Amino acid sequence: MTCIKDRCRVAEVDEAEELTANAREGLCRRRSSRRGTTTAMTHRLKLLLVWLTLLLSGCATERSMKPAAEIDFSEHLRGKTLLFVAAHPDDEWGVAPLFAEACLFNGAKCHFVVASEARSWGCFPTIGLRDPAECTRIRRDEMIKSATALGGKVTFFGWEDAFYAFDQAGMERNIALWAKDNGGRDALVARFKGVIDAVKPGVIFSHDPRHGTTCHPNHRAVTLLMLEALNQTDANTRPEVWFENDLFVEDIMDAPTKAAVDNGAFFPWPKDRSPMYWYDASKVLPNGKTGFDYLVATMKTHATQYPDIASGRRVLAPTKAQQRIPFTRLQDIDPKQDLCTALALERPTFDKFGYPPSK
């Protein structure tokens, strides 16, 4: 078993662990049933165990420090039509470096869908704005500016920015609310199908539906509805799908990780054994800016959500290694897996804390 450049194969690790166990079991059998075994045989078995142990520990270190796989996103996305599917205005900042390179410099066409931006209370926790209609207007304007700066266009669905529990039940409750207000679940799926048919993307990006990076139920819900729509398209021309697979749940971060994330660092979702593919946002683009510069600019554009960054009070300065953004492919995961409910996250949601606030 070898650690291939920038990755360790999970299957090979498991196989090596099995070999280690078998060797250990064999050693015990020989000691109990054949105590007359020569010293040379025992010595060889011990050497085998030591070799396997060192190899496994080395590969585990490699796997924790390096990406599971590499892909040249720059060339892979060149000249293609890209679609980013989001729940909210501002959700696109994590893909902003990749989209900036592809659509501003490499001939790709970019389109953004924002599904649940209407009647938004998202300005209250950040800037104290209690008027959902005004918040929605401002955030739509921010999203249009952001999409334009990245060389793209945006479509708004106008579904309510519902905010229920950060678990499976909360996600289903969000979908039920949207379905009630918009003609049923089939109508929600049809809305995505219409965009896919019109835009004809070669590649779709969205949040990982297993956790939505933050466990926000809207993040997960819109991705799952989009996948239902995708299943209704021609399998022969179906676009490839990539998920942003980073971690933004402070509740499960240790102190050093939280500090790094607050400083702009990216970390993959913990204990996820699916292959991970990385985009290096520290890359310098033809105009002299880095991909990470576009990420920061996108967050500044969404000043209602990141007022401290927009004002300059908070400056993001992760290391180059921490500017690698993790992505996972649809075919490598079970999109219906729920990684959020077991976390029992407490948030000021509509159902638990009497939110939204009264005027």
Q: For position 249, which CATH number holds?
A: 3.40.50.10320
Q: How far apart (Å, rounded) are the C-alpha atoms in residues 45 and 32? A: 15
Is 184 in the same domain as 39?
A: no
Q: How far apart (Å, rounded) are the C-alpha atoms in residues 45 and 48? A: 5
User: What pLDDT, in 10s, does the model give residues 128-155?
Assistant: 999 999 999 999 999 999 999 999 999 9
Model pLDDT, residue 10:
34
Q: How far apart (Å, rounded) are the C-alpha atoms in residues 342 and 359? A: 34
Q: 277 has which bridge partners? A: 69, 327
Model pLDDT, residue 353:
64
Query: CB of 141 within 8 A of CB of 156?
Result: no
The DSSP code sequence of 135-182 is HHHHHHHHHHHHHHHTTEEEEE---B-----SSHHHHHHHHHHHHHHT
Model pLDDT, residue 113:
98
| pTM for the predicted model, two decimal places | 0.81
Is 238 in the same domain as 199?
A: yes
Nearest to 171 by CA among 218, 102, 101, 234: 218
Considering the domain boundaries, does residue 248 fall inside one?
yes
Is 105 in the same domain as 31?
A: no
Q: In the structure encoding, which two tokens stand for residue 225, read together? A: 């509805």
The domain boundary, picked from 29, 45, 65, lies at 65
Considering the domain boundaries, does residue 1 fall inside one?
no
φ/ψ bin of 288: left (φ > 0), alpha (ψ from -120 to 50), beta (otherwise): left
User: For the chain, how long is the longest CA-to-CA vector?
Assistant: 86
Considering the domain boundaries, does residue 162 fall inside one?
yes
Is 100 in the same domain as 34?
A: no
Considering the domain boundaries, does residue 338 fall inside one?
yes
Is 152 in the same domain as 280?
A: yes
Is 172 in the same domain as 219?
A: yes
Q: How far apart (Å, rounded) are the C-alpha atoms in residues 80 and 240? A: 11
Is 241 in the same domain as 310?
A: yes
The domain boundary, picked from 65, 82, 108, lies at 65
Query: CB of 159 within 8 A of CB of 115?
Result: yes
Tell me how many degrees the CA angle 148-223-102 measures, rounded to the nearest 5. 35
The domain boundary, picked from 65, 81, 111, lies at 65
Is 53 in the same domain as 90?
A: no
Is 23 in the same domain as 156?
A: no
Is 144 in the same domain as 220?
A: yes
Q: Which residues of the chain have pLDDT under 70?
A: 1-70, 353-359
Secondary structure element (H or E) that encloses residue 196, with its range: helix 185-199
Is 119 in the same domain as 225?
A: yes
- Which positions ≥6 away from 138 have C-beta within 8 Å? 123, 129, 304
Considering the domain boundaries, does residue 5 fall inside one?
no
Is 46 in the same domain as 106?
A: no
Burial (CB count within 10 angstroms: exposed 0-12, middle 13-18, buried 19+), residue 168: middle
Considering the domain boundaries, does residue 359 fall inside one?
no
Considering the domain boundaries, does residue 142 fall inside one?
yes
Q: How far apart (Å, rounded) are the C-alpha atoms in residues 92 and 143? A: 9
CA atoms within 13 A on the CB side of 349: 21
Structural domain count, the chain: 2
* Residue-range definition of the domain harbouring residue 169: 73-353
Considering the domain boundaries, does residue 189 fall inside one?
yes
